[in-house]
């Protein structure tokens, strides 16, 4: 019973991280119809930058949260530049988009290897969250619970942004019908940059928040990208609720699959995605069929 | 075919046929073999991605399935002919299953489903250790000896690969010129019109998938005989991405493009990596540069620049 409870908490924590990663992926995919294959790299870049700010580089030591914010801002700026300079030139050309995003992810992976080397970097949990919470026989690390809370808060903030603000209404209009949104005077191209930067920043933030749990290592990008894809396909692209529900589902499947059927862990992870694609191609909460 | 093209083709054929004699060192002959079997793989994917407009990001798993099948059949004690035929059957049958599942969708949906299928197969190969031996993979012992010719030397294997490569090129050239090939291009450009004209769009795509699967299996078998080893890494998303990059960078929907793309990727991976540690960065930069400078791919892009230069040189200068 204790094992199940611990697994469930771990699943929700991992689901929270996946939500931060995939919310941006889903919005980018939904709004711009770009399969952003750099998203795993953005996660990894965020983790590496954050780890550097925390660990001390050029005689600079930052608090965990400030480092996380800085890393997120840095990667968001990088995302905006990539969107402005490259992806902007390639609307409606999925082949070229795939080529460019994969090319950037190759470069990012090699850049990380060059700067930080091949050894994994362990990021310590922030001191004030290093404790444990006891609930009967089960013991939960405080940090994992904190990650859940952070993910919930950001989910709420994103929901408010998308559902209650003018910017959010414009983004939703862009997702539903980009041409009509342009006709009524929404500058969809500007939205693209904003959404891409936001998605990149969120992915980077997830990377550094996840670092104390997952650690930072070369290949982290390739581990996370397929998970983001699964979430978005399960939940449906362009839908925040879809990303949220999809992330929690994938978090559970991933953790329970690893624990119960270690040999078939990836099989049970990707099977539901295949079923959804076949039975409900727009995803559980999707707004359109890709 | 213009005389210029015929001459170029003859020179290329002659160069390939005599390669082991002017290429110094076994290492480079082996690199040439790799380029050729990856070119067969890229040609197979190009049938779908280039001519059919169906971009698969799970093709490495099909490639890997044929390689694993070869290994299993040999381990079971059968001879090489059984292994090769068996691996072809397994590869094409897997492609048929892939097609049934993924042809429900096109565009980005097709990319996603093939990616999921590829990840499932990779996950099985990687984690189902009791069956696949996990990351340790499967070792092969020995290469086949068709007509009594041992293939253990680099040169002999190169010529085998060259024969399969030439066959593949001819097959694709015939396919593209056949009514089925024309219909496939029709379903890529105007699926609804093709449907209205009475073509069975799904069936055309299905046959194209099978053809692509056949070429992919052929290259997978060559690969496993070349390396004598197959592990889950071969099935991973990065491998699928790599072969797709070969097709796109060379020029999707052209006969020469995937071959040039395979040459580019293999040379950067195995030759340039010898003296440039940051070859991955270079490969990524090349892909980005291709998209910016020649979005249609290296082969069509060079042809376009060539025509432009030709027109300038003749003094016309006026764009057509």
Phi-psi category of B78—alpha, beta or left, where left has phi over 0 and alpha has psi -120 to 50? beta
For residue B61, CA distances in Å to B42, B68, B224, B236, B243 come to 14, 10, 13, 7, 11
Which positions in chain B touch A94 (Cβ < 8 Å)? 55, 107-108, 111
A207-223 confidence digits (pLDDT tens): 999 998 888 998 888 88
pLDDT (0 to 100) of residue B206 = 95
pLDDT (0 to 100) of residue B302 = 87
Nearest CA to B197 out of B207, B187, B205, B206 is that of B187
Which positions in chain A touch B116 (Cβ < 8 Å)? 229-230, 233, 270, 273-274, 277
- Residue B176: strand, helix, or coil: helix
Q: Does A73 touch chain B (CB under 8 A)?
A: no
Query: Is A110 within 8 Å of B278 when comparing Cβ atoms?
Result: yes
Query: Is A270 within 8 Å of B101 when comparing Cβ atoms?
Result: no
Query: Within a domain: residue A247?
Result: no
In DSSP terms, which residues pair with A141 in a beta bridge? A132
Q: How confident is the model at residue B213 (pLDDT cuts 50, 70, 90)?
A: very high
ipTM: 0.77
d(CA B111, CA B57) in angstroms, rounded, equals 6
Which positions in chain A touch B295 (Cβ < 8 Å)? 90, 93, 96
d(CA B209, CA B216) in angstroms, rounded, equals 10
- Report how many Cβ contacts below 8 Å link chain A to chain B: 141
Nearest CA to B73 out of B88, B57, B54 is that of B88
pLDDT (0 to 100) of residue B202 = 93
Nearest to B280 among A94, A99, A110 (CB): A110
Tokens of B266: 């293999």
Looking at the 3D structure of chain A, how many domains does it have?
Answer: 1
Q: Does B122 touch chain A (CB under 8 A)?
A: yes
Phi-psi category of A59—alpha, beta or left, where left has phi over 0 and alpha has psi -120 to 50? left
d(CA B283, CA B299) in angstroms, rounded, equals 17
Which positions in chain A touch B281 (Cβ < 8 Å)? 106-107, 110-111, 114
For residue A170, the distance in angstroms to the closest alpha carbon of chain B comes to 24
B258-296 confidence digits (pLDDT tens): 999 999 999 988 888 888 778 888 888 888 888 888 878
Query: Within a domain: residue A235?
Result: no
The set of long-range contacts for B7-16, using a CB threshold of 8 Å and a minimum separation of 24, is B16/B162
Query: Within a domain: residue A42?
Result: yes
Which positions in chain B touch A277 (Cβ < 8 Å)? 104-105, 109, 112-113, 116
Which positions in chain B touch A87 (Cβ < 8 Å)? none
Which positions in chain A touch B49 (Cβ < 8 Å)? 95
**Mean predicted confidence (pLDDT) in B69-98:** 91
The shares of helix, strand and coil residues in chain A, as percent rounded to the nearest 5, are: 75, 5, 20
For chain A, give the mean pLDDT.
86
pLDDT (0 to 100) of residue A208 = 92
Residue B319 clears pLDDT 60, i.e. is over it: no
Q: Does B283 touch chain A (CB under 8 A)?
A: yes
pLDDT (0 to 100) of residue A290 = 55
Tokens of B234: 């071969």
- By CB atoms closer than 10 A (0-12, 13-18, 19+), residue B241 is buried
Query: Within a domain: residue A248?
Result: no
Nearest to B108 among A89, A108, A290 (CB): A290
**Mean predicted confidence (pLDDT) in B7-24:** 84
Query: Within a domain: residue A162?
Result: yes
pTM for this prediction:
0.85
Residue A75 clears pLDDT 90, i.e. is over it: yes
Q: How confident is the model at residue A240 (pLDDT cuts 50, 70, 90)?
A: confident
Residue A174 clears pLDDT 80, i.e. is over it: yes
To test the contact with chain B by mutation, choose from A25, A92, A98 the residue with the greatest count of B C-beta atoms within 10 A, namely A98
Give me the domain span that covers residue A141.
Answer: 2-218
Query: Is B281 within 8 Å of A114 when comparing Cβ atoms?
Result: yes
Which positions in chain B touch A222 (Cβ < 8 Å)? 236-238
For residue A66, the distance in angstroms to the closest alpha carbon of chain B comes to 30
To test the contact with chain B by mutation, choose from A102, A254, A275, A283 the residue with the greatest count of B C-beta atoms within 10 A, namely A102
Query: Is A94 within 8 Å of B111 when comparing Cβ atoms?
Result: yes
Place of tokens 């249609």: B296
d(CA A237, CA A162) in angstroms, rounded, equals 15
Query: Within a domain: residue B318?
Result: no
Query: Within a domain: residue B34?
Result: yes
Nearest to A229 among B112, B124, B280 (CB): B112
Give me the domain span that covers residue B114.
Answer: 26-237
Q: What is the DSSP letter of A187?
A: -
d(CA A153, CA A29) in angstroms, rounded, equals 23
Query: Within a domain: residue B246?
Result: no
d(CA B90, CA B206) in angstroms, rounded, equals 16
d(CA A203, CA A23) in angstroms, rounded, equals 8
Query: Is A277 within 8 Å of B288 when comparing Cβ atoms?
Result: no
Place of tokens 């988009």: A97
Q: How confident is the model at residue A59 (pLDDT cuts 50, 70, 90)?
A: low
Query: Within a domain: residue A136?
Result: yes
pLDDT (0 to 100) of residue A85 = 87
Query: Within a domain: residue B320?
Result: no
Query: Is B237 within 8 Å of A226 when comparing Cβ atoms?
Result: yes
The CATH number of whichever domain residue B153 belongs to comes to: 1.10.3470.10
d(CA A199, CA A25) in angstroms, rounded, equals 6
Q: Does B101 touch chain A (CB under 8 A)?
A: yes
Query: Within a domain: residue B135?
Result: yes
The set of long-range contacts for A219-222, using a CB threshold of 8 Å and a minimum separation of 24, is A219/A109, A220/A40, A220/A43, A220/A44, A220/A47, A221/A40, A221/A41, A221/A43, A221/A44, A221/A105, A221/A108, A221/A109, A222/A40, A222/A109, A222/B236, A222/B237, A222/B238
Query: Could you tell me how many residues make up chain A?
Result: 290
Query: Within a domain: residue A156?
Result: yes
**Mean predicted confidence (pLDDT) in B166-183:** 94
Looking at the 3D structure of chain B, how many domains does it have?
Answer: 1
pLDDT (0 to 100) of residue A287 = 65
Q: How confident is the model at residue A56 (pLDDT cuts 50, 70, 90)?
A: low
Query: Within a domain: residue A180?
Result: yes
**Please, are residues A32 and A192 in contact by the beta-carbon 8 Å criterion?**
yes
Q: How confident is the model at residue B43 (pLDDT cuts 50, 70, 90)?
A: very high
């Amino acid at each position: 019973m204790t094992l199940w409870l611990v697994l469930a908490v771990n699943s929700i924590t991992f689901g929270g991280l996946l939500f931060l990663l995939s919310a941006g992926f889903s919005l980018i995919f939904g709004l711009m119809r770009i399969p952003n294959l750099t998203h795993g790299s953005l996660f990894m870049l965020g983790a590496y930058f954050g780890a550097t700010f925390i660990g001390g580089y050029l005689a600079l030591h930052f608090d965990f949260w400030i480092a996380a914010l800085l890393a997120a801002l840095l990667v968001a700026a990088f995302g905006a530049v990539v969107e402005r300079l490259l992806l902007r030139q390639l609307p409606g050309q999925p082949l070229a988009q795939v080529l460019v995003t994969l090319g950037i992810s190759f470069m990012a992976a090699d850049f990380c290897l060059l700067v930080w080397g091949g050894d994994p970097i362990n990021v310590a949990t922030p001191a004030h969250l290093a404790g444990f919470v006891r609930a009967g026989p089960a013991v939960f690390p405080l940090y994992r619970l904190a990650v859940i809370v952070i993910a919930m808060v950001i989910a709420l903030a994103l929901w408010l942004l998308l559902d209650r603000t003018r910017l959010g209404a414009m983004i939703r209009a862009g997702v539903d019908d980009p041409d009509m949104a342009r006709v009524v005077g929404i500058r969809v191209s500007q939205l693209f940059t904003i959404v891409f930067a936001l998605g990149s920043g969120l992915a980077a933030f997830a990377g550094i928040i996840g670092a104390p749990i997952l650690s930072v290592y070369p290949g982290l990008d390739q581990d996370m990208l397929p998970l983001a894809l699964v979430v978005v396909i399960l939940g449906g692209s362009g839908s925040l609720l879809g990303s949220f529900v999809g992330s929690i589902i994938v978090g559970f499947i991933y953790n329970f699959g690893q624990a119960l059927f270690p040999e078939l862990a990836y099989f049970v992870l990707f099977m539901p995605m295949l079923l959804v694609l076949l039975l409900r191609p727009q995803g559980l909460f999707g707004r359109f069929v890709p | 075919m213009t005389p210029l093209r015929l001459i170029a083709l003859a020179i290329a054929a002659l160069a390939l046929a005599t390669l082991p004699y002017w290429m110094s060192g076994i290492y480079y002959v082996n690199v040439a073999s790799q380029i050729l079997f990856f070119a067969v793989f890229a040609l197979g994917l190009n049938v779908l991605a280039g001519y059919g407009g169906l971009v698969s990001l799970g093709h490495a798993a099909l490639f890997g399935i044929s390689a694993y099948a070869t290994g299993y059949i040999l381990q079971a004690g059968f001879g090489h002919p059984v292994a090769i035929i068996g691996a072809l059957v397994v590869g094409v049958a897997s492609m048929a299953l892939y097609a049934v599942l993924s042809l429900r969708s096109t565009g980005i949906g097709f990319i996603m489903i093939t990616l999921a299928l590829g990840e499932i197969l990779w996950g099985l190969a990687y984690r189902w250790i009791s069956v696949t031996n996990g990351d340790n993979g499967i070792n092969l012992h020995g290469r086949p000896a068709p007509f009594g010719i041992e293939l253990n030397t680099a040169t002999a294997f190169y010529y085998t690969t060259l024969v399969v490569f030439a066959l593949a090129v001819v097959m694709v050239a015939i396919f593209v010129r056949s009514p089925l090939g024309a219909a496939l291009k029709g379903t890529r450009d105007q699926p609804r019109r093709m449907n209205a004209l009475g073509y069975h769009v799904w069936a055309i795509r299905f046959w194209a998938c099978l053809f692509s699967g056949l070429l992919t299996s052929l290259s997978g078998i060559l690969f496993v005989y070349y390396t004598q080893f197959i592990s889950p890494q071969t099935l991973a998303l990065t491998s699928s991405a790599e072969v797709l990059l070969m097709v796109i960078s060379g020029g999707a929907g052209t006969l020469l493009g995937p071959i040039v793309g395979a040459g580019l990727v293999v040379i950067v991976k195995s030759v340039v990596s010898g003296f440039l540690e940051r070859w991955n960065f270079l490969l990524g930069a090349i892909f980005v540069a291709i998209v910016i400078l020649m979005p249609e791919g290296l082969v069509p892009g060079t042809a376009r620049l060539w025509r432009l230069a030709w027109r300038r040189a003749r003094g016309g200068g006026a764009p057509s």
